Amino acid sequence: MSSVIMTDSLTKQYGSKKAVDRLDLKVPSGSIYGFLGPNGAGKSTTLKLLLGLIRPTGGRIMILGKEVNQKNRLSILAKTGSLIESPAYYGHLSGKENLRIICTLKDVPFQEADRVLKIVRMTEQQNKKVGQYSLGMKQRLGLAAALLGSPDLLLLDEPTNGLDPAGIQEMRRLICSLPEKYGITIVVSSHLLSEIDQMATHVGIIDHGQLIFQDTLSSLHEHSKSWIILHTDNDPEALKILKQAKIPAGRRDGKLVLRAQKDALVAEAAAALVHSGIGVLRIYEQQMSLEDIFLHLTGKQVSL
Amino acid sequence: MSLPIIRQLSAEQKKARHRKIWLVPLGFFLFEVIWMLWILTTAHAKELVTGYLMLFYQLPVLNTVILPLMITVIASRLSDMEIKGDTLKLLYTMQRPAGFFDCKYVAGTKYLLFFTAGHGMLIPVYGKIFGFGNPLKISMLFSYLAVTLCTSMILLAIQQTLSLISNSQFLPLIVGLAGSFLGLFSLFFPAPVARLVIWGYFAAFPRVEMDWNRDTRIIQYNEVSFPLYAFFAFAAAGIFIYGICRTITVKKEV
């Protein structure tokens, strides 16, 4: 699968602080690339670097197979759409008038505005002044603006920020439908792991400006270790018995766990405990959640 | 690839819809119409003999007070929509920041041109209505309009920059208001100091001098030659100031 975005040691430094530190992004074509990280990790800065809104301190950016520089930046970005931080709009104009301004700048026919308004389901509100829109409507208008001119790539920075649950679901559905319907590659940033989990096919995790994980979402899930939890009527005694029987066991979050998942070992542990007179109340398997993985990777509490 | 300027200007035109920005220069123009009417209706018949000279003496002073305010409001009306709507990060993915600044400036200059042209027509119209004794010298009219437009355009560049780099329009409005007062006071400053106050340049290239005789209490207006080279130097400085303003705006990260 070819990469729509590739960066090579992309760096942005403000004074002595590296906001983005030697980032090597690879966004496969046709994917929804979830760009995940805690607040202040460098997500927006990275997206702004990709769009040429800020200049990198070092490194290279390749978008749609071309290295981006100041000369070709706009011609490359003509094939992209973006929604950065918050929707951009002219509050004194209607939704349709807003889109027509972008049509003019992108040199696409005004009929495009009608097409994208249909996609984001805003045809009924198109003549209302944007200043009177709810945040959810503004976000959808922002997405419509990004879709003008049928871009090959969409960069969406926290597109569900500030939306109510219904708005979040609506936006998520819209984003998920785009690669299949229109063949668009999407980079969507978020600090919400659950959101990325529901949308993305690929994930990049950034923390302190550094990319600490990048692969498919399924690969991230594979990182989740599973544990066998034992509930007994005397856990301290049970642990002693298991150790004496040389069965790999220990404590995790106050629970008695087996460190291996082989069925034979589980049976051996249960037998050892029962023979020693320990009452085995429950044996079950627990998987490391994505939150645990995120915590493990970033060392930070994740937003849910 | 740079976006054709015509498309960028067309976008600026579309953005200004419903903003009624033309009401700003129109309002200030009407103020000048009324002010001139008042001056001319209260003037002595002797003064009306040299009516054009009287106007060319008084109008630059009036411009020093009111035009900085008009320019501030125009720049603010054109620029605050970008700040309020957080549009720069979207626009800069479609047009070069420098191109955006230039087109925004052209959009603002259009109103200054309308105002100045209206001014240019108003003076001879009043001359006819009030029957000024002396003929209107076209060179005097054009030099007056050139100074007015040039100073206005330099102030527009400054105000536009302030409006685009500030998160609120409070600072540009304060600067515009302060500039108006400073411009007026600069007329009483020593020449080397007055030269540092851009807002005062509306009256810095006078074509008319006033001679007031304390004993007879008679005011006499005399024509003086236009300091063409000084004006060219001022216009060149204006281009330099525009370049600085443009660089400041372009360098600002969005």
- What would the pLDDT profile of A185-217 be if each residue is shown by its tens digit? 999 999 888 888 889 999 999 989 999 899 999
- Judgement on whether residues A114 and A69 belong to the same structural domain of the protein: yes
Q: Give the per-residue pLDDT at A29.
A: 94
* pLDDT, average across residues B128-142: 92
Q: What string of DSSP letters covers B58-120? A: HHHHHHHHHHHHHHHHHHHHHHHHHHHTT-HHHHTTTS-HHHHHHHHHHHHHHHHHHHHHHHH
The answer to whether residue B251 neighbours chain A at the CB level (below 8 Å) is: no
Which residue ranges make up each domain of chain B? 20-251
A95 inside 8 A of chain B by CB: no
A179, A283: one domain: no
The answer as to whether A17 is a domain residue is: yes
Residue A304, pLDDT > 60, answer no
Let me know whether A237 and A176 are in one domain: no
Look at residue A303 in the predicted model and tell me its pLDDT.
Answer: 47
Q: Other C-beta atoms within 10 Å of A144: how many?
A: 29
Q: Is the pLDDT of residue A225 over 80?
A: no
A194 with A133, same domain: the answer is yes
Average pLDDT for B197-202? 95
Give the predicted TM-score (pTM) of the model: 0.86
Residue type, B152: S
Interface contact A105-B85, CB threshold 8 A: no
| pLDDT for residue A232 is more than 80 | yes
% of chain B with per-residue pLDDT over 90:
80
Residue A14: closest C-alpha in chain B:
B253
- The residue of chain A nearest to residue B97, with distances taken between CA atoms, is A53
Average pLDDT, integer, range B130-134: 89
Share of chain A above pLDDT 70, in %: 96
Distance from the A6 Cα atom to the nearest Cα atom in chain B, whole angstroms: 19
Domain of A252 in residue numbering reads as 226-287
Contacts of B90 in chain A (CB under 8 A): 82, 84, 88, 102, 145
pLDDT tens figures, B232-247: 999 999 999 999 999 9
Is residue A176 less than 8 Å (CB to CB) from chain B?
Answer: no
> Do A17 and A51 fall within a single domain?
yes
Residue A302 lies in a domain: no
Residues of A in contact with B95 (CB under 8 A): 74, 105
Q: What is the pLDDT of residues B6-40, one digit of tens each?
A: 999 999 999 999 999 999 999 999 999 999 999 99
CA distance A206 to A223: 17
- Taking only the tens place, the pLDDT of each residue in A6-42 is 999 999 999 999 999 999 999 999 999 999 988 889 9
Q: What is the pLDDT averaged over residues B216-241?
A: 91
Tell if the CB–CB gap between B1 and A48 is shorter than 8 Å: no
Tokens of A104: 């003019």
Give the pLDDT confidence score for residue A299 in this predicted structure: 66
- Predicted confidence (pLDDT) at residue A104 exceeds the cutoff of 70: yes
Residue A68's SS3 state is coil
* Rounded (5°) CA angle B35-B219-B36: 10
Q: How many CA atoms lie within 13 A of B91 on its CB side?
A: 27
Q: How confident is the model over B127-145, as a mean pLDDT?
A: 92
Check whether residue A268 and residue A170 sit in a common domain.
Answer: no
A217 shares a domain with A145 = yes
Co-location of A63 and A130 in the same domain: yes
CA-nearest of B164, B240, B250 to B198 is: B240
Q: How many domains does chain A contain in total?
A: 2
- CB contacts, 8 Å: B17 with chain A: 92-93, 97
In a domain, A72, yes or no: yes
Residues B76, B104 contacting (CB under 8 angstroms): no
Distance CA A237, CA A276 (A): 10
The CATH number of residue A188's host domain is: 3.40.50.300
CA-based nearest residue to A139, from A103, A175, A192:
A175
Q: Check residue A302 and give its pLDDT.
A: 47
Interface of B with A in 69-108 (CB under 8 A): 81, 84-96
Q: Of B17, B89, B95, which has the smallest distance from its Cβ to A105's Cβ? A: B95
Residues A134 and A121 in one domain: yes
How far, in Å, CA of A205 to CA of A192, rounded?
11
Would you say residue A70 lies in a domain? yes
Q: Say if A166 is an interface residue toward chain B (CB within 8 Å).
A: no
Query: Which of A193, A222, A251 represents a domain boundary (last residue)?
Result: A222
Is there a contact between B91 and A88 if contact means CB atoms under 8 Å apart?
Answer: yes
Q: Is residue A299 part of a domain?
A: no
Shortest CA gap B113–chain A (Å): 25
Interchain contact, B92 vs A100, CB within 8 Å? no
Average pLDDT estimate for A281-301: 75
Q: How far apart are CA B143 and CA B150, in angstroms?
A: 10
Q: Can you give the pLDDT at residue B2?
A: 65
Residue with tokens 């983005």: A20
Q: What is the pLDDT of residue B232?
A: 97
Same domain, A153 and A247: no
Q: How confident is the model at residue B199 (pLDDT cuts 50, 70, 90)?
A: very high
Highest mean pLDDT out of A248-252, B180-184, B222-226: B180-184
Nearest chain A Cα distance for residue B85, angstroms: 5
**Cβ neighbours, 10 Å, residue A189:** 26
Residue B215 forms contact with A (CB below 8 Å):
no
Count of H-run helices and E-run strands, chain B: 10, 2
- State whether B84 and A91 contact (CB < 8 Å): yes
Q: Please check whether residue A128 touches B, CB under 8 A.
A: no
Pick from B209, B215, B180, B182: which is nearest to B196 by CA? B182
Q: At A273, which CATH number?
A: 3.30.70
* pLDDT tens per residue, range B55-97: 999 999 999 999 999 999 999 999 999 999 999 999 999 999 9
CB–CB contact A90 B87 (8 Å): yes
Is A146 in the same domain as A247?
A: no
Interface contact A139, partner B, CB < 8 A: no
What number is the ipTM of this complex? Answer: 0.88
pLDDT confidence of residue A224: 67
Q: What integer pLDDT is reported at residue B1 of this predicted model?
A: 55
d(CA A268, CA A247): 8
Q: A206 and A83: one domain?
A: yes
